[in-house]
């Protein structure tokens, strides 16, 4: 394997100040810009790492069950590593994502109404022992790859962060953040986990004391659309102050619009969930309640998003009657 291919597939993303969010939060806010990763989101960190590890174990083909950010990461990683990829997507995936996936040289199969059905199809396609099945979020190698975000944050920040704010779907990114904090002995940094109503599997799990299914996804934040959070969250959250917050789809879209106006970048509502912690005033409330540190910046992980366009953002703006 060449030196290039054995190197990480992700890039070091910037940690940049946000004057607008700082003003709203009443606290210094910085952005970890994972939306500029080669595959369009943070997913390249964990999925790229997992695929590289799988190739070392003899994998010669990739199958993924996601038409969103995980699918894009799997397709991009496979192309760079020089092995074929099949991406199984549910019927709910926007048509433009099929074109994006094919641009990465992936075969695309449309199967089932929702991700869970697509994943069952992917499992049958990946029965060959040399085939690597890429779960969107649930594997320790994926969490290990995502944990490099913490490595970079701690190296790039001149002060210990007051908190790290992340969106949560199935919990892969959250597990990566928690693992990274443990590895660095930085468990005193609070983590603020954000979800939208109708995709709130972490909140449901914390309320129940274990991972439970929320039954169906009703949020427009489809890439947060896991019915059940990974058990890894419960295994890794010990010793870390983790607070869970659920917002509306409207708040997530408002955050996306504000972010586009302020930073000239498009992100999807799944990412807007984390940004909404700042724009909605939640961070200010947490600061006043001593649930985040008084000193240091609040780090917002701008996780990215491929399933978004200007037209779609405008449609959501109209749907939620946002001025």
Structure tokens at 139: 């594997």
Cβ atoms 51, 146 nearer than 8 A: no
Pairing of strands 29-33, 15-17: antiparallel
The domain of 75 spans 43-138
For residues 130 and 147, state if they share a domain: no
Q: What pLDDT is recorded for position 3?
A: 35
Identify the domain boundary among 82, 107, 138: 138
Q: What pLDDT is recorded for position 60?
A: 95
Structure tokens at 115: 């991700």
For residues 118 and 28, state if they share a domain: no
For residues 26 and 100, state if they share a domain: no
3-state helix, strand, coil in the chain (%, to 5): 45, 15, 40
**Cα separation, 307 vs 93, whole angstroms:** 8
For residues 176 and 290, state if they share a domain: yes
For residues 237 and 204, state if they share a domain: yes
Q: What pLDDT is recorded for position 5?
A: 59
For residues 293 and 164, state if they share a domain: yes
For residues 226 and 298, state if they share a domain: yes
Q: What pLDDT is recorded for position 225?
A: 74
**Cα separation, 51 vs 34, whole angstroms:** 19
Q: What pLDDT is recorded for position 73?
A: 96
Cβ atoms 252, 97 nearer than 8 A: no
For residues 48 and 30, state if they share a domain: no
User: pTM of this prediction?
Assistant: 0.95
Identify the domain boundary among 110, 138, 166: 138
For residues 86 and 38, state if they share a domain: no
- Structural domains counted in the chain: 2
For residues 310 and 282, state if they share a domain: yes
Neighbours of 84 (CB within 10 A): 14
Identify the domain boundary among 138, 155, 174: 138
For residues 161 and 132, state if they share a domain: no
Pairing of strands 191-196, 163-167: parallel
List average pLDDT for each run of 10 residues in the chain, which is 323 residues long.
65 98 96 96 97 95 90 96 95 87 95 85 90 94 98 97 97 97 98 96 97 92 84 97 97 97 96 97 94 94 90 95 92
Residue with tokens 């003003």: 23
Residue with tokens 């004057």: 19
Structure tokens at 47: 């999925």
Over the range 198-213, which residues count as b (16 or more CB within 10 Å of their CB) and which as e? bbbbbbbbbeeeebee
Q: Tell me, what CATH number does 233's domain have?
A: 3.40.50.1100
For residues 145 and 132, state if they share a domain: no
Q: What pLDDT is recorded for position 283?
A: 96
Q: What pLDDT is recorded for position 46?
A: 98
């Amino acid at each position: 394997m060449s030196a290039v291919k054995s190197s990480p597939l992700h890039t070091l993303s910037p940690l940049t100040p946000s004057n607008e969010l700082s003003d709203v939060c009443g606290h210094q806010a910085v952005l970890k810009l994972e939306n500029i990763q080669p595959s369009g989101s943070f997913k390249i960190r964990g999925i790229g790492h997992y695929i590289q590890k799988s190739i070392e174990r003899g994998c010669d083909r990739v199958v993924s069950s996601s038409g969103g950010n995980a699918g894009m990461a799997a397709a991009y990683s496979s192309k760079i590593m020089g092995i074929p990829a099949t991406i199984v997507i549910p019927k709910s995936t926007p048509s433009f994502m099929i074109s994006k996936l094919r641009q990465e040289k992936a075969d695309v199969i449309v199967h089932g109404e929702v991700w869970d059905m697509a994943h069952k199809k992917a499992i049958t396609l990946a029965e060959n022992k040399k085939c690597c099945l890429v779960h969107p979020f649930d594997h320790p190698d994926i969490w290990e790859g995502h944990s490099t975000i913490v490595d970079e944050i701690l190296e790039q920040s001149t002060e210990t962060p007051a908190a790290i704010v992340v969106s949560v779907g199935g919990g892969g990114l959250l597990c990566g953040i928690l693992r990274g904090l443990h590895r660095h002995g930085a468990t005193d940094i609070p983590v603020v986990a954000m979800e939208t109503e109708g995709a709130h599997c972490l909140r449901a799990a914390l309320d129940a004391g274990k991972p439970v299914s929320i039954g169906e996804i009703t949020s427009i934040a489809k890439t947060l659309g896991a019915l059940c959070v990974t058990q890894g969250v419960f295994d890794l959250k010990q010793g870390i102050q983790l607070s869970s917050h659920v917002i509306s789809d409207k708040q997530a879209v408002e955050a996306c619009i504000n972010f586009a106006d302020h930073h000239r970048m498009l992100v999807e509502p799944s990412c807007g969930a984390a940004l909404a912690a700042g724009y909605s005033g939640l961070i200010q409330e947490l600061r006043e309640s001593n649930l985040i540190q008084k000193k240091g910046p609040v780090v917002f992980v701008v996780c990215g998003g491929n399933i978004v366009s200007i037209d779609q953002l405008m449609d959501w703006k109209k749907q939620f009657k946002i001025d």
